Structure 1
């Protein structure tokens, strides 16, 4: 029995060390990999253009080699920055994507988890604090309350919590708030940082699960083994399962609810800034303060990463569905299989140094004779001119022109009858009903601006009349207008 248990434990350990996470931490070049990835990526820089990443890794390699670290038990990898980054991508630590037509590197979920482990290990001891134990106890209580099926027991528990809150309120009203020790507040802040460090890996795992679903759906569509509708239904069901049945999906759903409320995320950011200004924050070092201040941004970036993966998967799958041609795909697959089969047959019989003539161009199709001229694209004649006469127009259910723009002719004639300067609001109030529409007020202001007008400090209020008899009041700065335009000499 003992041997069986030891063998099972050893097999589990072997499987764990085959994962990219422990492969990164257990490798010979682990210190350099961790330091380089930590330098390349940050909360504000989740994606790095591939060319920039190659250049920055090459610069780090040159600096360390010049400093003599290359001789430190061969802990610095050989090769250029491009070769090192490609090796990391093959190991599963970097993911290549295209963002805004630019090819970038992103950290994989395994790399994020490895960096979190090294960050926690190098960030100091892990203390069994009051805050951490209380977080555990509260989580267990919430779980027990959610699992409780007896409504009487739940009511009793809620009533006890309410009584405790009421007693605490009365105590604070009578005695005031007792100051909390800075050391205890610092422990609370450490617990917040500990919880926040677990989020990026969860977000990355959700994004990678969506990418894996995208690849599976496209593969099923290309194999044409099942109807397209059935494949898409399975994709939608798996997408729902990711958000509901996994810890990573639940973390994402909770963060999405948080980001969906702008007031709540703004309140979170303000609370973090306020906490950093408290006296207990002096116990935090610069790295902890920076990490504490970036919690809100870290959550936002994680949600953006998952949403981007969702959009990218939907875009790829939609394009595949639109362009999916089973007959064409089957013909291409058959052609590729024939080429590979012919290559294998040729390789078995051809000598090792036999030259291979490349296919430099594809054969051209014979289209025959194409038309070299087209008909006259000009129209046969100009259209008949529009008529300005009103007698050939029949208006039904009233004159629709009443709902048109300003009646400039009537307004200009009305303004021309004014004597010198006049108040525009009073003039509009005295105009005929058919020129007191809202658009006519705009037209009157335009005419006043054209003739020259002066704005005062008072406010004019006018009442407009729509063609259907309804009214609407407008207020604007008092305007003194002129009946005619002033000469340039004036």
Structure 2
């Protein structure tokens, strides 16, 4: 029997060490993991953007290596980049990936929170049997026995004894008899409160993770459900609404939420903690202990918010899956994915390892002309040509065509009358008023450039007239038309210098 008990105890121990919490603390790089996770994730910062976490982990690695922590003979930091290290933590269950406000973030899993709490308790404080902890245990046992008592007479007797003790204490206070507790006893009470509060973040994380796991199970079950959507709609929507009651952790959390769910309860807790920190005995506490005591209310509020967020997310996902549930389409998609994976497996067995050229663009289908009617057997015809006449153009207030682009036809006809080698500025000054707009100067430069031009070191200044009568002066490098075509010439750029009215 002794051998059987020993074997059973050993198997339980092996199972326990497979838990991610003990695996984190037992691993070769446990000090590094605990240190980095404790500085990246804090009670006031439970979620960290993926990109930010990678940067902070890389900085921590560089600082540790610069301090000589990681040496070739005694390697204490895992190999790989910060991104690879974080993704490894996700795979082993120490970090969780979530989407919050369209941003991918890391969150500590309940296992990691528990491991950090164990490491902090083991290395940051003394574990001792105190009156406060014993009294906490006795009070819990007394309340358990009282709640489990089914005899009304005995429950009434216990309540009367409790009331008599309270009445005696009130009477003593009325007579001015006060027995102040010594500072050591109050310090023990504060340490016990801190010890109890350290358990809360892991408890909240376990509730949130249980809800997320239930959500994944429901979605997977829904995808396997071949019943018509109408039959499963009411069932799964009800499960989405009652997601908190679907797990033991969720039901336990709802019971606790009745004690701390009201914002006024959180405010009262904050006021009580602040009042404790103003007492003289708080000077005996370390700065870390005072900080933990002050942060209890914020930790409780953040934990409640984490669980409620997980509940809303699970309800939303289940509801969305139900509304889009299509068994036939889901089966088609599953069959397609399985065929793709099977084909990829066959290809990987037949192809020699090496570089695979990626598909950079997908082929385009040449569909030609789509018929507008299947009954029309005539081939499609070309569209009617656009009318170029001006007879049908009507302007309500004014002809705005004067503000358009260059008058190429008039400018080309004008350039044809000029002798070879003419100066562009002189030619522009001699043009009609309708073709001396700023845009016509650009058009004239373009026409001369096509036939060839010669630039000099001089500067030409011309005056252009807008359709509304205002003038603008432009300066540019002097240009003369060449009698022969110069193919490599570049048109100069006109720059506005000033304006005259």
TM over 0.5: yes
**Aligned-residue offset at 1:127:** 1.4
| Cα-to-partner distance string for 1:421-452 (whole Å, 9 max, x where unaligned) | xxxxxxxxxxxxxxxxxxxxxxxxxxxxxxxx
Question: Which shifted more, 308-317 or 351-360?
Answer: 351-360
**Aligned-residue offset at 1:369:** 3.6
Q: Does 1:342 find its partner at 2:343?
A: yes
**Aligned-residue offset at 1:73:** 2.0
Q: Does 1:228 find its partner at 2:232?
A: yes
Which residue is equivalent to 1:170?
171
Q: Aligned partners of 2:355, 2:276: CA distance in 1, in Å?
A: 74
**Aligned-residue offset at 1:264:** 2.3
Which residue is equivalent to 1:368?
370
The verdict on how the C-alpha distance between 1:157 and 1:19 changes in structure 2, with shifts beyond 3 A counting, is same
State whether residues 193 and 291 of structure 1, in contact with CA within 8 Å, keep that contact through their aligned partners in structure 2: yes
State whether residues 112 and 200 of structure 1, in contact with CA within 8 Å, keep that contact through their aligned partners in structure 2: yes
Which residue is equivalent to 2:156?
155
Q: Does 1:240 find its partner at 2:245?
A: yes
Q: Secondary structure at the match of 2:42?
A: coil
Q: Aligned partners of 2:352, 2:52: CA distance in 1, in Å?
A: 44
Which residue is equivalent to 2:26?
26
**Aligned-residue offset at 1:174:** 2.2
Which residue is equivalent to 1:54?
54
Which residue is equivalent to 1:260?
261
**Aligned-residue offset at 1:68:** 0.7
State whether residues 214 and 246 of structure 2, in contact with CA within 8 Å, keep that contact through their aligned partners in structure 1: no
Which residue is equivalent to 2:441?
none
Which residue is equivalent to 2:17?
17
The verdict on how the C-alpha distance between 1:253 and 1:26 changes in structure 2, with shifts beyond 3 A counting, is same
**Aligned-residue offset at 1:354:** 10
State whether residues 258 and 265 of structure 1, in contact with CA within 8 Å, keep that contact through their aligned partners in structure 2: no
State whether residues 243 and 314 of structure 2, in contact with CA within 8 Å, keep that contact through their aligned partners in structure 1: no
Q: Secondary structure at the match of 1:70?
A: coil
**Aligned-residue offset at 1:358:** 4.4
**Aligned-residue offset at 1:311:** 1.1
**Aligned-residue offset at 1:74:** 1.0
Q: What aligned pairs does 1:374-453 form with structure 2 within 5 A after superposition? A: none
Question: Which shifted more, 328-337 or 19-28?
Answer: 328-337
Q: Secondary structure at the match of 1:69?
A: coil
Name the larger-Rg structure: 2
Q: Aligned partners of 1:51, 1:350: CA distance in 2, in Å?
A: 36
**Aligned-residue offset at 1:173:** 2.0
State whether residues 29 and 77 of structure 1, in contact with CA within 8 Å, keep that contact through their aligned partners in structure 2: yes
Q: TM-score, normalised by structure 2?
A: 0.69
The list of structure 1 runs, each at least 4 consecutive aligned residues, that deviate by more than 6 angstroms after superposition, is 353-357
State whether residues 97 and 104 of structure 2, in contact with CA within 8 Å, keep that contact through their aligned partners in structure 1: yes
**Aligned-residue offset at 1:363:** 6.5
Q: TM-score, normalised by structure 1?
A: 0.70
The verdict on how the C-alpha distance between 1:350 and 1:267 changes in structure 2, with shifts beyond 3 A counting, is closer
**Aligned-residue offset at 1:340:** 3.0
**Aligned-residue offset at 1:221:** 1.6
| Cα-to-partner distance string for 1:314-373 (whole Å, 9 max, x where unaligned) | 121122122222222121122222333334444555556697784842675969345999
**Aligned-residue offset at 1:298:** 0.1
The number of equivalent residue pairs is 369
Q: Aligned partners of 2:242, 2:66: CA distance in 1, in Å?
A: 54
- Gaps of at least 5 residues in structure 2 are 374-379, 384-501
